[in-house]
Amino acid sequence: MEKNYKELLNHIDTFIFDVDGVLTDSSVHVTQTGEMLRIMNIRDGFAMKAALESGYNVCIISGGNNEGVRIRLRNLGIHDIHLASPNKVETFKEYIELYQIKPENVLYMGDDIPDYHVMKLVGLPTCPQDASPEIKAISRYISHKNGGRGAVREVIEQVMKAQGKWHLYYDGKHD
């Protein structure tokens, strides 16, 4: 019998997220100069920072390349940021080899076809509520929230609660 996704939460030590459609709502605002602006959810950022401070690995793998995104993620303390990744599977394999991470201990959240093959390699493939049908079909968990609207916070919080680490962030120890 296949494990329920909740049984997998206890084994997660690494979070990997796509950017567009996961950390953002897939919208891009284009200025007159051609600059593309994205909106990120502040609660997703809080959760990623909480995960880092609790000892989890947090990695970003995206096909997009935006310096503003990189700056935002670095300001949260994320150092493993792979933007303009031409091959997410190759980037994933290099990342887990570098840090000696077991694929079965990885939660990956993606939303569209470029995430498909890497999601097939991880222990807990997840997606936002508004992900493409192909990604929903292979996800072990589909968030109740859309991309850029708290889906990242939701999965991080579930993992940290399952492992008894989330309470540290609302009992006043990290004010």
pLDDT in tens, 92-103: 999 999 999 999
Q: What confidence category does residue 1 fall into, taking pLDDT thresholds of 50, 70 and 90?
A: very low
- The angle at the Cα of 147, spanning 70 to 128, to the nearest 5 degrees, equals 125
> In the predicted model, what is the mean pLDDT of the chain?
92
Q: What Å distances lie between residue 17 and 53, 109, 115, 119, 164, CA to CA?
A: 17, 5, 10, 11, 22
Global pTM value: 0.92
DSSP H helices in the chain: 5-8, 42-53, 67-75, 88-99, 116-119, 133-138, 151-162
pLDDT, residue 175, reads 47
